[in-house]
């Protein structure tokens, strides 16, 4: 049997395009599921911090952060957020930047690695992104993260212990080091089978096409052998 295609995704749970890219990837892969020879795919998420210098409790809203941190006029920021909200809606996501709590995401990334060790990385990634972009939850605080971990079936006490000890910080840093070695300086970024790089929240059709292409290449190699 042909091995599954490996898709490694570098993202930040506080990156609006990463959530859109995740949805589009899922839709693209779902479209291939009906193929006679449907590609088998394994998706793994990796840590990337867009704004590692952000405090856990940022004093202000998303407009304040982007206008001060990025040096952008508030009117321009408003237009940008309205645009991404529209694109998100097309992907089936309901963003609420008015209630979003901007925060440091390193602890959220540590939680994702804890969840990965328990076989719940995908569920935890989805829960964190939904909590941040659609529900206005504070994903920088340990107490809130523990609650979210419990919601996807993870042990709350074990999650708290992992976060308070920093047990998975080394794994977060290893992901970031690998991103630098690949030359990744923006997310989302998708690495397919360690040899193809796809940058940005591509449309679902693009993800379906590349999955089919790589799967066909795999099949051709198998026949040749």
pLDDT tens-digit map of 109-157: 999 999 999 999 999 999 999 999 999 999 999 999 999 999 999 999 9
Q: Provide CB contacts within 8 A for 30, sequence distance 6+.
A: none
pLDDT tens-digit map of 9-57: 999 999 999 999 999 999 999 999 999 999 999 999 999 999 999 999 9
Cα distance between the two ends of the chain = 13
What three-state secondary structure class fits 207?
helix
62-69 vs 74-90: helix crossing angle, rounded to 10: 120
What three-state secondary structure class fits 9?
strand
CA separation, residue 130 to residues 81, 98, 117, 223 (Å): 17, 15, 21, 43
Distance CA 99, CA 104 (A): 16
Asked whether 9 and 25 are in contact (CB, 8 A), the reply is yes
pTM over 0.85: yes
For each of the domains in the chain, give its residue range(s) and CATH number, in order of start: 5-224 (3.40.30.10)
Two tokens, residue 18: 């990463």
């Amino acid at each position: 049997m042909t091995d599954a295609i490996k898709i490694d995704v570098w993202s930040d749970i506080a990156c609006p395009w990463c959530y859109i890219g995740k949805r589009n990837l899922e839709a693209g892969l779902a479209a291939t599921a009906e193929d006679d020879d449907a590609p088998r795919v394994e998706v793994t998420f990796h840590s990337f911090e867009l704004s590692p210098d952000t405090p856990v409790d940022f004093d202000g809203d998303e407009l304040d952060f982007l206008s001060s941190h990025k040096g952008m006029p508030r009117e321009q920021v408003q237009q940008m957020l309205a645009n991404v909200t529209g694109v998100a809606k097309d992907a089936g996501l309901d963003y609420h930047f008015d209630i979003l709590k901007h925060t440091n995401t390193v602890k959220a990334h540590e939680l994702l690695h804890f969840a990965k060790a328990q076989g719940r990385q995908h569920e935890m990634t989805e829960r964190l992104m939904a909590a941040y972009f659609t529900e206005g939850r504070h994903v920088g605080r340990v107490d809130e993260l523990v609650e979210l971990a419990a919601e996807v079936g993870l042990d709350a006490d074990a999650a708290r212990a992992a976060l308070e000890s920093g047990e998975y910080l080394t794994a977060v840093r290893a992901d970031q080091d690998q991103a630098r070695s690949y030359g990744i300086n923006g997310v989302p970024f998708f690495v397919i089978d360690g040899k193809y790089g796809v940058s940005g929240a591509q449309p679902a059709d693009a993800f379906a096409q590349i999955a089919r292409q790589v799967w066909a290449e795999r099949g051709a190699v198998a026949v040749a052998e």
